[in-house]
Amino acid sequence: MRKGEKADLIHVEGDTDHPTNRGTLCPKGAALRGGFVQAETRLKNPRVREPGAAEFKQISWEDALDRIARHLKDDRDANFIAKNAAGTTVNRWVSTGFLAASATTNETAFLTYKVVRSTGIVAFDNQARV
């Protein structure tokens, strides 16, 4: 396949050698079989609806990631709790949560947990438990 050439998804299957799922598909992976990827209504670019606007507008991936980072930073700045009422350092960010993927190794899950907790996020869960 050449760059810019359109490809069609013709088959989806799990990786039987994967240590976590041994080839089974999660609901999202299984949904790919139903034509989700080729659906006419599938969004292929990020969109945003500005406050007060009636319609969504398409934005670049770079702009979308910048907006997400800015919103997270603003939220953390506004809601971060450095010390509790007793003056003990707690470093908590209680207004944002994080949901991690289940198809990962224990080592990757541990590192994800450590990185998320290092930001102060308290509400952390893993899709494997859900």
Please state the domain extents for the chain: 1-42, 43-126
Residues 6 or more apart whose Cβ sits within 8 Å of residue 121 = 93, 96, 97, 98
Q: pLDDT higher for 70 or 15?
A: 70
Residue among 89, 126, 124, 75 at smallest CA distance from 105: 126
Residue 130: pLDDT band (50, 70, 90) is low
pLDDT digits (tens, 9 = 90+) for 19-76: 777 888 777 777 776 666 777 888 889 999 999 999 999 999 999 999 999 999 999 9
Asked if the model's pLDDT at residue 106 lies above 90, the reply is no
pLDDT digits (tens, 9 = 90+) for 74-105: 999 999 999 999 999 999 999 999 998 877 78
Q: Residue 119 is encoded by which pair of tokens?
A: 């930001």
Mean pLDDT of all residues belonging to the chain: 87
